Amino acid sequence: MPPTCSVLDFFEGGSDSCISAHTLFLCLCPTRETLVAPWCAAVSCRVWCPGVMAVPRGIEISAGQRGFKRELRSTMTDTKAWTGTTMKAFIVLALFAVAYAAPIEDDKIVGGYECRKNSVPYQVSLNSGYHFCGGSLISSTWVVSAAHCYKSRMSVRLGEHNIAVNEGTEQFINSAKVIRHPRYSSRNLDNDIMLIKLSKPATLNSYVRTVSLPSSCASSGSRCLISGWGNMSSSGSNYPDRLRCLDAPILSDSSCRSSYPGQITSNMFCAGYLEGGKDSCQGDSGGPVVCNGQLQGVVSWGYGCAQRNKPGVYAKVCNYNSWIRSTMSSN
């Protein structure tokens, strides 16, 4: 019998081992028509784990593009449908891995605008040969990101604007420790927060700065800035090289819960526009939601991107101040 892999792992035929999830998803629809797409959002489509090797990409799945949600475990023979609340999730066959390497794993803001260069100095890019998630610098040695972006080792890129070129403002620093919240759940993305300790302190300057942790939780209606290199398209792939920004309000808890019945915990909030058209997307995962100069949210998940009545869902950073500070002081 093949092993039962964790939600973020997939079974590799012939080796009796689980492999870590990594990027595009190969969707197998009822018509037997296969589709390589940024996500398998259609309720009728199923994720197919072929015998060769399916590498779910970190940007969507383990590395985060904007999150995903799976309620079923995956093995080589698992072809059960994802639930209708399935989030954006990328899976790519190994033979596609090289061709799609860097750009496919990045997702960007839908309906936003190009950020003024170096105007978001706390924004970082998590990189493992390609950008796969965002993050926020909260001290010279610590970064906050999403737990579903976890990789044991990564390069943290600071001072970035155009991730396709060297602009002379960048600092590339390897991770020394990557610490997920101890109560993170990959089943519903509760406690979707993670800390990354840098191998050396970042040099703080006009291009690289920290963002403050929240002094209190933000109220609904608060205007916030969301940023990232995620997908700019709600129905396809369009990944920018330059950092994108989106101004969006925090939605009421009632609106958030009615948009995702039974899926919102006390550690989550929604932000964006119920009419759709503007949202964070795949590749933005782990990135910042900053309101009044304070880090209030971490890009976590959502159904599709910029869809009506399906706003983005974010980890509520104000609930984690104690955990963040105690983890930093003990590591």
CB 123 within 8 A of CB 79: no
The DSSP element (H or E) to which 95 belongs, if any, is: helix 94-104
In whole angstroms, what is the distance from residue 64 CA to residue 292 CA?
A: 26
- Known catalytic residue: 252? no
9, 192, 279, 284: which is the annotated catalytic residue?
192
CB 158 within 8 A of CB 174: no
CB 301 within 8 A of CB 146: no
74, 125, 136, 148: which is the annotated catalytic residue?
148
In whole angstroms, what is the distance from residue 27 CA to residue 89 CA?
A: 10
| DSSP secondary structure letter of residue 80 | P
- Known catalytic residue: 148? yes
Checking phi first, is residue 189 left (phi over 0); if not, alpha (psi -120 to 50) or beta? Answer: left
Q: Which DSSP string corresponds to 250-284? A: BPPHHHHHHHSTTT--TTEEEES-TT-S-B--TT-
SS (H, E, C) 192-214: CCEEEEECCCCCCCCCCCCCECC
- Known catalytic residue: 145? no
175, 186, 285, 300: which is the annotated catalytic residue?
285
User: Which residue numbers are catalytic?
Assistant: 148, 192, 285
